[in-house]
Amino acid sequence: MFKHILFAVFAILLLATCKKEGDDIAPSIQVISPTDAVFMSLPDTLNVIAIIKDNVEVRSVKVSLVDDENVSVGPSFTNTFSSAEVNFNVAFIIEDLSLETGSYFLQITASDGENESKSFVPLSLVEVPKEMLGTFYSYQNGNLSALRYDLLNGDGGTLNLIESNAKHDVQHIRSRVFVSQYENRFLSAYEYGSSWSLLWESDLSMSSPGGMIESVEFDKHRDEVVVNTGADGIFLYRYNGTLNGMIPMESTEICRGLIIFDTEIWMGVSSLGGQNSLIQVYRDSGVRGTILPLNFTPGIMKDYSSTRVAMAIPNGDVAIKNIQTGEITPVDIPDDNPIIAMEVYNGEIFVLKTGQLFRVTAGFQVQGLFNGTDLRDFKIDRVQGRMMLVIGNTLRTFNIFPWISINEVGLNPEAMEISILYNK
């Protein structure tokens, strides 16, 4: 990794706040290093050196990474002291690969227990390119479901055995893998080091006795795992496993799918009375906003654009709903088999049914891409523009534009679902 220091004059911002009449003098902060704007390629280490002085004593010094709105977005380090002068020196490691290229600040906060001062040094971070690490796929092992991982570096093996043959999903987020067991309503988080280790696990059946896990999404802007349990609502988990809140359903409602738009969640909801709706919910308050009626029961939902939602319909077709105008564009997909999986990529919709894979172009023309008697699942590698298609005991990889078969590998035993692992 490289680091270049820009030798330009930068004024250190110094903020002081007084909290008690007994001592109204905040600690002083003299930043020795870095004193100028810093360019860093992640991951990297920044040597932070400062002299902190106070008229009584310095009680604590904290170093953190904040964005241009002074919101903490990365690691932080705090040390405590009981001295009038502190020679502060710490190696501050920034290794969160999910951080995007942009402008940030190194924030140094010194406190004497009554007053605090803050200094800021500008940082420009260059993100790590997103790369594929390997794949996860599930298979049946007698009465058990198991997960197999194959990494591109040659590592491979079984991650977990699940004590049922329940459908489940695997999502890779940063360095962690989230495994959701749909019928058992378990959400588990694993992290890969020299081996896989279970970090935390949540039994949603304790708070969601009547529902199943319908889908799991990740909101990178809020660092939350969003779990849809259908009739029992939407549970919001922090990346570290703490429950951060939930969005309840009405007594007759079932959430069939959801998508995340920044501060909003749009839910595809059906009710026992036969009413179907697309409902806007504000994340911070849980208050419902716009309610758009639907003349069908919504299924899998995908973000088609900033204003449109693609939804699977029970008869095997796709409907595209404009959340601003309420207009619906129907797309007729051949045969009435239900949709198994659906993805949106580069303005096109890819639909998997029993025995057939379809592409819906930006002009809503439907094209058949692949026929097979044992199609199970597919995922799109958005970095390389490729699709990985599970066909029984075979994993085939296709280049999407143009559609060309690249390779195939055998799977032993046969896979049910597949997930792609990335470095971030």
Helices (H) and strands (E) in the chain, counts: 0, 36
- Distance between CA atoms of 139 and 149, rounded to whole angstroms? 11
Segment 117-130, tens digit of pLDDT: 999 999 998 888 88
How is residue 23 written in tokens?
């001592």
Q: Which of 207, 205, 202 has the alpha carbon at shortest distance from 225?
A: 202
Segment 256-297, tens digit of pLDDT: 999 988 778 999 999 988 899 999 999 878 899 999 999 999
Q: Which of 23, 35, 10, 15 has the alpha carbon at shortest distance from 110?
A: 15
Domains, the chain, in order of start with CATH, read 3-126 (2.60.40.2550), 166-298 (2.130.10.10)
Percent of the chain with pLDDT strictly greater than 90: 45
Where is mean pLDDT largest: 142-156, 167-181, 237-251? 237-251
Q: Is the pLDDT of residue 6 over 50?
A: no
Split at pLDDT 50, 70, 90, the class of 325 is: very high
Q: Is the pLDDT of residue 43 over 50?
A: yes
Q: Is the pLDDT of residue 232 over 90?
A: no
Name the helix (H) or strand (E) containing 15: strand 15-17
- Distance between CA atoms of 127 and 395, rounded to whole angstroms? 31
Alpha helices in 237-396 (DSSP H): none
pLDDT of amino acid 363: 92
Higher pLDDT, 119 or 135: 119
| CA angle in degrees (0–180, nearest 5) for 234-237-242 | 135
- Distance between CA atoms of 81 and 280, rounded to whole angstroms? 49
pLDDT of amino acid 8: 31
Q: What is the mean pLDDT of residues 332-355?
A: 93
pLDDT of amino acid 171: 67
245-283: burial string, b at 16+ Cβ within 10 Å, e else: ebbebeeebbbbbbbbeeeebbbbbbeeeeebbbbbbeb
Segment 237-260, tens digit of pLDDT: 887 788 888 899 998 999 999 998
- Residue 336, classed as helix, strand or coil, is coil
- Distance between CA atoms of 339 and 311, rounded to whole angstroms? 10
Where is mean pLDDT largest: 155-169, 177-191, 299-313? 299-313
Split at pLDDT 50, 70, 90, the class of 76 is: confident
Q: What is the mean pLDDT of residues 41-61?
A: 93
Q: Is 312 exposed, middle or buried (0-12, 13-18, 19+ CB in 10 A)?
A: buried
Q: Which of 5, 94, 84, 98 has the alpha carbon at shortest distance from 51?
A: 84
Predicted structure pTM score = 0.75
Q: What are phi and psi of 229, to 5 degrees?
A: -105, 15
Higher pLDDT, 375 or 175: 375
Split at pLDDT 50, 70, 90, the class of 18 is: very low
pLDDT of amino acid 202: 77
Question: Could you say which DSSP state residue 384 is in?
Answer: T
Q: What is the mean pLDDT of residues 222-248?
A: 84
